[in-house]
Amino acid sequence: MPITPVKPSPAFKTQARRAILVVVFFLATYLVLLLLAVGLTMLCILGGVALIVIHPSLLTLVLGIGLASVGVFILIFLVKFIFKSHKVDRLHLQEIRREDEPALFQLIDEIVTKVGTRFPKKVYLATNVNASVFYDSNFWSMFLPVRKNLMIGMGLVDTITKDEFKAILAHEFGHFSQRTMKVGSYVYNVNQVIHNMLYDNESYENLAQRWTNVSWYFYLFVSLALAINRGIQWVLRKQKILRYQLELVKPVQKEMS
């Protein structure tokens, strides 16, 4: 008997469209800021080189490098989130393979065929009473296809029949075949980017401090870059995307549960 896909409710569609609009607005704002930063970096570097060429000396060399560092530090501030590593704690999960549980994987094969979706990247067992779908969410997962994982709680398996278990897995595999998880991922990653630029700046500030310790000339230029960064942070705060996170994600998660 074929499995009928669950259609999103009108409320879900409204929240999803609103979330997408907010994300698109942020991406457009970020792209404008990034292009301005790249242009400023090029001007600063060209200005620094021209200063050195026009009047070669130790002073102009220091000033030229300092001027170039203004644009470089602003650019680093805007792209540093890309290099931020996100460690996911999965100590509470136990990965299983086909040779470990052939009957379970055969059941998953049947559901995958009926739903018309891809087999999960990994299958995990947990001690809770739940079943869920998740994947490694990062900045690049907003643009690149990411395979989802399946988590099965042993407490769930011990309390239901095989048919009930199959129905629950079929529900979860509906998330594999649809894009209901993508909206929440977009909102999550946008907020991660904004959080990184607003609050996660310890390593960046340490780098700036080391650079300013080289010369008080560099201190002046780095201070200028930091002042511009505060302007960028002001723009991000005005967008108030952090305030939208719970409002947008909760209805999406409720629809997906």
| CATH label of the domain that carries residue 101 | 3.30.2010.10
> Does residue 192 sit in the same domain as residue 220?
yes
Residue at 109 is within a domain: yes
Local confidence band at 256 (pLDDT 50, 70, 90 cut-offs): very low
Question: What per-residue confidence (pLDDT) applies to 159?
Answer: 80
> Does residue 16 sit in the same domain as residue 79?
yes
Say how far apart CA 249 and CA 245 lie, in whole Å.
6
Question: What per-residue confidence (pLDDT) applies to 35?
Answer: 93
Domain that holds residue 246: 10-86+187-256
User: Which residue is listed with tokens 């404008």?
Assistant: 32
> Does residue 80 sit in the same domain as residue 112?
no
Q: What is the pLDDT of residues 182-222, one digit of tens each?
A: 666 777 778 788 888 888 888 899 998 888 888 888 888 99
Q: What is the pLDDT of residues 236-254, one digit of tens each?
A: 777 655 455 444 444 444 4
Question: What per-residue confidence (pLDDT) applies to 123?
Answer: 92
Q: Which two tokens stand for residue 218?
A: 């560099």
> Does residue 17 sit in the same domain as residue 54?
yes
Q: What is the pLDDT of residues 162-183, one digit of tens each?
A: 888 888 888 877 766 665 566 6
Residue at 202 is within a domain: yes
User: Where does residue 104 rank: exposed (0-12), middle (13-18), buried (19+ CB within 10 A)?
Assistant: middle
Say how far apart CA 153 and CA 134 lie, in whole Å.
14
At 126, give phi and psi (nearest 5°): -135, 170
Segment holding 87, helix H or strand E: none
> Does residue 212 sit in the same domain as residue 239?
yes
> Does residue 49 sit in the same domain as residue 124?
no
Sign of the C-alpha dihedral computed for residues 141, 147, 153 and 157 taken in this order: positive
Q: Which two tokens stand for residue 117?
A: 């979706």
Quickly list DSSP for 159-186: TS-HHHHHHHHHHHHHHHHS-HHHHHHH
- C-beta of residue 236 within 8 angstroms of C-beta of residue 197: yes
Local confidence band at 3 (pLDDT 50, 70, 90 cut-offs): very low
In the DSSP assignment, the letter for residue 143 is T
Of 88 and 149, the structure prediction assigns the larger pLDDT to 149
Q: Of 183, 201, 233, which residue is a domain's last? A: 183
Q: Of 183, 201, 230, which residue is a domain's last? A: 183
Overall domain count for the chain:
2
Question: What per-residue confidence (pLDDT) applies to 87?
Answer: 66
Q: Is the pLDDT of residue 16 over 60?
A: yes
Residue at 1 is within a domain: no
> Does residue 60 sit in the same domain as residue 101?
no
Question: What per-residue confidence (pLDDT) applies to 255?
Answer: 43
Angle, CA of 182, 96 and 163, to the nearest 5°: 75
> Does residue 196 sit in the same domain as residue 178?
no
Q: Of all residues in the chain, what percent carry a pLDDT higher than 70?
A: 80
User: Which residue is listed with tokens 């009926």?
Assistant: 114
> Does residue 172 sit in the same domain as residue 192?
no
> Does residue 82 sit in the same domain as residue 191?
yes
At 118, give phi and psi (nearest 5°): -90, 155
Question: What per-residue confidence (pLDDT) applies to 238?
Answer: 72
Q: Of 183, 212, 246, which residue is a domain's last? A: 183
Contacts of 226 (CB under 8 A, 6+ apart): 73, 208
Residue at 2 is within a domain: no
Residue at 5 is within a domain: no
> Does residue 179 sit in the same domain as residue 101?
yes
Residue at 3 is within a domain: no
Residue at 158 is within a domain: yes
Q: Is the pLDDT of residue 73 over 60?
A: yes
Q: What is the pLDDT of residues 40-69, one digit of tens each?
A: 989 989 988 898 888 888 888 888 888 888
Angle, CA of 213, 80 and 76, to the nearest 5°: 50
In the DSSP assignment, the letter for residue 53 is H
> Does residue 42 sit in the same domain as residue 98?
no
